[in-house]
Amino acid sequence: MADLSHSRSASAGSAANGSRRLFHNLFVRNFSAKLAATPMIMTVLIVFIGCTAWTIFYSFTNSRSLPSGELVGFDQYTRLFSNRRWNASVLNIMTYGVTSLCFTMVVGFLLAVFMDQKIRFESAFRTVFLYPFALSFIVTGLVWQWIMNPAFGLQAAVQSWGFTSFTFDWLKNRNMVVYALVIAGLWQGTGFVMVLLLAGLRGIDEEIWKAARVDGIPTWKTYIFVVLPMMRGVIVTTLVIVGSGIVRLYDLVVAMTQGGPGISSEVPAKYVYNYMFGAGNLGQGLAASSVMLLTVFIILIPWMLIEFRPKSHS
């Protein structure tokens, strides 16, 4: 602090001195640490920031199969938001996202709590719940496509047992197909959420539980008011993992519904893929992916502002 105010009040003569110090601080100090971090810094600069900038720039061009530098303003975006398939995709991913996020977190947490009750055969249960996560979304999608197929799957089976009025045709139902995706997604991902949250639960000091029991706090209140707040870090990690899985949802849709019936289970990532590679319209695909990126930022920035705001000690 004293240093800073000194250089502020110093005359122009010490400006050169200041820039030398800046150089020193930037490059010479902790040189080996900075050298070691260079590959990662370059990766971030080139792969993440560089490619993002490239994507955004070319979303303002009329690039088709190959990138072109001809700028067309917001044309790609105008077309994007007047496209019925894109708008349906956005709506679908929102429905899927909110439902899937709520259910994976709640069900995953309840399963973790269940596993934390010192039950017998815990590792067997854990394996069973986690097993679907070892399968790709493609396999998951194909399996559930058969289970939910009204002609062969659950509906046909239950009807053949005599319950002829039973219907479960979500895959063919334009209004319910997104929830069919949610079910398959839950089946695949909940075990993983459970394992993450279970690790968080196990990290809670046992004496906290004892203290709560002595205080006479009911178990469910201990979970909600004491344990959950203590698991904040694990929960944020889980939310980020689940959230990124939702945003990039693609393979499950391709395997399970191909976006159908009609366009009623289309998702943004599939739109990006189809227009970039299938339709050879790079500009349109990049505009769509830029919008996806923007959405992620809109969700993340308020959270980051809260999380990383300078902490004040009162």
Are 182 and 96 a contacting pair, CB within 8 Å?
A: yes
Query: Does residue number 150 form part of the binding site for another protein (CB under 8 A)?
Result: yes
Binding status of residue 225 toward another protein by CB under 8 A: yes
Binding residues among 3-62 for another protein as defined by CB under 8 A:
none
Query: Segment contacting another protein (CB under 8 A): 24-32, 168-176, 239-247, 290-298?
Result: 168-176
Name the minimum Å distance from CB 41 to another protein. Answer: 32
- Give the residues across from 71 on adjacent strands: 61
Query: Which part of the chain contacts another protein (CB under 8 A), choosing from 2-10, 132-140, 178-186, 209-217?
Result: 209-217
HEC assignment per residue over 236-273: HHHHHHHHHHHHCCCHHHHHHCCCCCCCCCCCHHHHHH
Q: Alpha-carbon dihedral of residues 241, 247, 252, 257, nearest 10 degrees? A: 160
**261 contributes a contact to another protein by CB under 8 A:** yes
Measured in degrees and rounded to the nearest 5, phi and psi for residue 173 equal -105, 120
Taking the least distance from each CB to another protein, the nearer of 58 and 275 is 275
State in angstroms the smallest separation of the CB of 267 from another protein: 13
67 binds another protein, rule: CB under 8 A = no
Give the one residue of 116, 274, 293, 295 binding another protein; rule: CB under 8 A: 274
Q: Which is nearer to another protein, 29 or 202 (CB)?
A: 202
Helix axes 177-202, 232-247, angle to 10 degrees: 150
Q: Which of residues 173-202 bind another protein (CB under 8 A)?
A: 174
Judged by CB under 8 A, the stretch of 10-18, 50-58, 103-111, 145-153 that binds another protein is 145-153
Q: What is the dihedral of CA 9, 11, 16, 22, to 10 degrees?
A: 10
* Distance, first Cα to last Cα, the chain: 21
